[in-house]
Structure 1
Amino acid sequence: MTMQVTARHLIHRTAKEVVRHALTRLAMHRLVDGVRSAKGFSVGHFRNGTLAARFGEIYDVGLWTGGTGDVPLSGTGSTLAATRSVREGLPSLLGAIGAETLLDVGCGDLTWMSTIDLGIDYIGVDVVESVVRRNIEMHGSARRRFYCRDAMIGELPDADTVLCREVLFHLGFAEIAAVLRNVGAKPRRWLIATTDASTLFNADIRCGDYRVLNLQLAPFRFPEPDHWLDDSAQIPGRRLAVWSFDRLPVCSR
């Protein structure tokens, strides 16, 4: 079901993101972590210095499951209910843009992706080694391969189409820019990424945190997408949008 962004929601979310950004830029992490800890949220992963260690702990403690057994380790956005429209629309979208190989950056535990036949070669990469090992054991095949990579610095496999669903909103501005540059270090045709219309302001964050992210706003300023799928089952105004790489200067080689 599509959820529309109301004016009230847009104002509330934008104000929240402005405050989040200010707290990040003022380096008030201890205060924020103290409040979260008092509410029962885990913040231990922020003490890890590397991307692999930080996201590895998120998976180890099941941070994104919310403490419930029916939510996959990759979080509520990866449930079959949350991904219904994407699962139904992605194969047709890939066919429409002429995709031949899909590189899934930040593939996670493959809860929803494993249920669909894309009709093309699939390569999943993730920074968490345990997640990649399990994917290889459970889902690996000649047309479905997996590699452990840090998408900011590691060499990424060849593919004409890159998917980044619900990944960039866990990264800070500098890390997002690094991922986009690294992804664009090889010839690509299409970028498919999550973008949110529910905010008028993008907040910077620490890696491993979360906020909504509108890729058409500063500091990214992506143009209107070439194509998109509705992905608003959980967040109003969320889309899985498609851009041609040659329209994205931030991804230029």
Structure 2
Amino acid sequence: MRKLKSSVKKRLRLLLNRLFTKSRWYNQRVFTKIYRHDLFNTRSSNDHNVSKSGSGSDLEQTKALIEQLPVLFQKYKIQSLLDLPCGDFFWMQKVDLTGIQYIGGDIVADVIKKNNAAFASEHIAFREIDIINDDLPKVDLILCRDLLVHLKNQQIIAALKNIKKSGSKYLLTTSFKNTTHNQDNGVIGFWRTINLELEPFNWKYPIDEIFENCTEGNGKYNDKYLLLYQINP
């Protein structure tokens, strides 16, 4: 009986994922549950859960980003940044944001409320944003790290289209160079590697990159990069 119930629940979840792929309400519900129950950490058995955004947001996995993002900001004259999703702002608060108007966006309302209470300032603000359905603010750079890997392929295509629609100049986003096939995500919120340069995305010819030096999975994901694209003039 227990196995039957589990099978029925799994089928129902897959059906809901197909039906509500572009639903703001459903996507918010999924990621709010993940945040409230700390599922990014528990699913990966991460004991060093310093951030509810998961092990990829600890200071070891973001060391290269903390060092290299300010260099990229200066190189491309970035003065405004949309960090989507911002999560709990755990590692980003270590990045030198001097001269940057920073907007942290996340679909989880709890995250935005806590971040604004703890970190908001004249140059730092947080907004509730759905990357698929909401109009995104026009900025110099959209940073989209470790989000698309949790979405279904159809959602990724919609998100990339919406990012370009914002009129923002650059996109810096996660891609795994050794991935040779972009498997779809069966359930929204779960994780797999993606390679944006391959089908069905075909986002080829990035103009720059940041090598993350990822050590998760005993080096299994050491092909993880942030790729920079110029998406508008």
Q: Aligning the two structures, in what range does the TM-score lie when normalised by the shorter sequence?
A: 0.7 to 0.9
Deviations 1:161-217 (A, max 9, x none): 100011100001111111112222221110000100121000111311110010001
Q: Which of 81, 106, 125 does residue 105 from structure 2 map onto?
A: 125
Q: Which of 51, 57, 77 does residue 56 from structure 2 map onto?
A: 77
CA apart distance, 1:232:
2.9
Q: Is the 8 A contact 1:198 1:212 kept in 2?
A: no
Residue in 1 that maps onto 2:154: 174
Q: Give the letter for the 1:125 counterpart.
A: G
Matched, 1:54 2:30: yes
Q: Is the 8 A contact 2:167 2:232 kept in 1?
A: no
Q: Give the letter for the 2:90 counterpart.
A: T
Residue in 2 that maps onto 1:223: 204
Q: Is the 8 A contact 2:49 2:55 kept in 1?
A: no
- Further displaced range: 45-54 or 204-213: 45-54
RCO higher in structure (CA 8 A, sep ≥6): 1
Fraction of identical pairs, as percent? 30
Residue in 2 that maps onto 1:111: 90
Q: Is the 8 A contact 2:212 2:225 kept in 1?
A: yes
Residue in 2 that maps onto 1:212: 193
Matched, 1:97 2:97: no
CA apart distance, 1:228:
0.7
Between the two proteins, the alignment pairs up a number of residues equal to 211
Q: Is the 8 A contact 1:104 1:162 kept in 2?
A: yes
Residue in 2 that maps onto 1:11: none
**Alignment root-mean-square deviation, CA:** 2.5
Q: Give the letter for the 1:153 counterpart.
A: N
**Structure 1 pair 147–95 and aligned structure 2 pair: CA distance change class (3 A):** same
Q: Is the 8 A contact 1:46 1:54 kept in 2?
A: no
Question: TM-score, normalization: structure 2?
Answer: 0.83
Give the unaligned 5+ runs of structure 1.
Answer: 1-28, 35-43, 248-253
Q: Which of 226, 229, 233 does residue 243 from structure 1 map onto?
A: 229
Q: Give the letter for the 1:71 counterpart.
A: V
Q: Is the 8 A contact 2:142 2:170 kept in 1?
A: yes
Residue in 2 that maps onto 1:203: 183
CA apart distance, 1:107:
1.0
Q: Give the letter for the 1:161 counterpart.
A: L
